[in-house]
Amino acid sequence: MKKAAEYLEHEIVYSKLPFRKVAEEWLEEMDRKLAKTTYQKYESTLEIYIYPDFDDVAIADIGDERIDAFLKEASKKYENRGKYGEKLKSGTINLIRVVIKNVIDFAAQKDRKDGGGELLVDDRKEYSSLSEKELRQICSCAKYNHCPEMLAAMLMIFTGIRVGEVCAIGCDDIDLEAGKMNIHESVHRVKNRSGKGENKTVSVISEIPTKTQVRTEIIPDILINYVREFYNPGMCLLTGIKNQPMEAKTLRNRLDRIFDVYRIDRIAFQRFRKTFVEGKADVELLGEVFSGRMAMSAADGSVDTKWLRVEMANDLPSLRLLLGLSAEETSEIIGISKSVFKSIEEGKKELTWNQYLNLLFFFCYNPKTVPVVESLGLNPKILNELLSI
């Protein structure tokens, strides 16, 4: 098949050409600028939704009114093209509009011969940054679950690395002494064009196409030892295998299982990066959780019962899981009803002082949790002095 550029002559006015021919040349140019997943998304959108109606239509004949009318009908016409036969979502409709607009703008640029203009992007869902409670929960979960998946979560939150980038990061991209990480590649799942194997898609590592996204990020000092645990020169950081990165879907599934155990709701990866970008990745909070430093203490040297009760409730899932106990088993041992115990873990009910003392006695009685309780400051010296007769 000839490339679109072979059909196009420079003296021909692009706005008079059929939509498909201009779109094919636009795609050829975008192939050098876009990530493979984005390129294939645009390519599929053209093939499935746009070409059937605009194939031979001249660019000049495609105005805003025609586009609006087309999109209005598209939601009905392609109702069964969505997943599981669902109606097309607003995001897909918007993507169709963006692709059409980009092709039209590309033709206008060619006619002006200025090559200017910026690529339009489809509107993305607006994600919020993590709340302080969510950030504390995730940091606590990472502290007690040293695994590649939680390390990935920490790096996404505290360095702003994207999910595809963290999956692709190799140990050779990391300078432990300098505490820096060179980000220049990303993992993508793309169509299998080789014809080999039965899989319709394959996972590939490719250089980040946008130069501004190639960068070096600083790893917080407190995470260096965490990274060091999985550091193996020549290997991918998250898998420990050469040239075999972890896939984003695998990372997603594994993190969801870990979060489920800790009663943490599913959190979109975009929110991790959003937290970093908005400057809300609180490294002091990370240090507080990882080192066990108390966030506050009573100024007069008395027992800060409020802080102890709140912190015990926050760390309750982690502590009981260290003992391999379910919420039901723990509630029965310390004499709290299942419903009350669940409400405390979910932050819906405050822990009473008597409940705190019962839990402290229980955790201090088990060797696995004693050092953790001490490191978290949940059994302060002043409390021991108060309880001693």
The tokens describing 318, both together, are 């982690």
Phi–psi pair at 53, nearest 5 degrees: -105, -25
Distance set, CA 264 to CA 34, 38, 268 (Å):
34, 31, 12
Q: Give whichever of 22-36, 65-79, 134-148, 161-175 has the largest mean pLDDT.
A: 161-175
153 alpha carbon, distance to own chain's centre: 8
The residues with which 303 forms a beta bridge, in sequence order, are none
Average pLDDT over every residue of 69-85: 66
The pLDDT of residue 292 is 61
122 contact partners, CB below 8 Å, separation of at least 6 = 91, 94, 95, 98
Give the Cα-Cα-Cα angle 312, 314, 316 (nearest 5 degrees).
60
Torsion of CA 234, 240, 241, 243, to 10 degrees: -60
pLDDT digits (tens, 9 = 90+) for 100-158: 998 998 888 887 765 555 555 555 557 899 999 899 889 988 887 788 999 999 999 99
Strand partners, 170: 236
Which residues pair with residue 188 across a beta bridge?
204
Q: Which residue has the higher pLDDT, 371 or 277?
A: 277
Q: State yes or no: pLDDT of 242 exceeds 50.
A: yes
Beta bridge partners of 187: 205
3-state secondary structure of 305: helix
According to the model, what pLDDT value does residue 279 have? 92
pLDDT in tens, 255-296: 988 887 667 888 999 999 999 989 999 999 998 888 764 444
Cα separation, 296 vs 306, in Å, equals 10
CA 176 to chain centre: 24
Torsional sign, CA 196, 198, 201, 202:
negative
Q: Work out whether the CA dihedral 361, 364, 366, 372 comes out positive or negative.
A: positive
366-378 burial code (b ≥16 CB/10 A, e <16): eeebeebbeebbb
For the ranges 12-21, 118-127, 230-239, 369-378, the lowest mean pLDDT is seen at: 118-127
Task: Give dist(CA 145, CA 250) in Å, integer.
Answer: 17
User: Under a CB-based contact definition with an 8 Å cutoff, are residues 345 and 327 in contact?
Assistant: yes
pLDDT at 210: 65
Say what the pTM is: 0.55
Three-class SS state of 293: coil
CB 364 within 8 A of CB 373: yes
Evaluate if residue 209 carries a pLDDT over 90: no
**Of 94, 103, 90, whose CA–CA distance to 30 is shortest?**
103
